[in-house]
Amino acid sequence: MNPSWNTGLQLAASGPVIIARICPVEGAPPRHLVKALGALTQKIEQHGETLLALVFPNLPTDPGYPPALMRRVQQMAGILQRQGGLLVVAGPVRQLQDYLDGGVTVCLTESEEEALRLLKRIAQESTGGSPDSVAESAS
């Protein structure tokens, strides 16, 4: 998967789960990535019960990124909670906790694999499927 050349947002699906990877493009203005997350948020609002893994392989160090990005993350988490979905954010948990402190509660994991395992288990429980059927749909 290659990130969008001007935003750094990568999207994919794994069974019932949407995966969004945040990989800022060097030199790209922070607002492009923030706008891309805003567009994703609007799409999520149109669909109920979305299971979303938001992955930060490494957090952007540019001071313009974290506040705006984390506001979008909290906005997305709030929408998903109201609609019966779930957002799991994967990345450096300690840093993410600092950035996300004081807003909507967000589920954090250290790795993308852990986030996907959690979301697939939730999908399985909500549909009453077996672990094998969820695993097959994810491959």
Domains of the chain: which residue ranges? 9-138
Sheet hosting strand 9-14, strand order edge to edge = 9-14, 17-22, 51-55, 86-90, 107-109
Q: Which CATH class is domain 9-138?
A: alpha beta
Q: Virtual CA dihedral for 87, 92, 98, 102, nearest 10 degrees?
A: 10
Tell me the per-residue pLDDT of 108-120, one tens digit each, with 9 for 90 and over: 999 999 999 999 9
Tell me the per-residue pLDDT of 19-62, one tens digit each, with 9 for 90 and over: 999 988 777 788 888 899 999 999 999 887 899 999 998 787 77
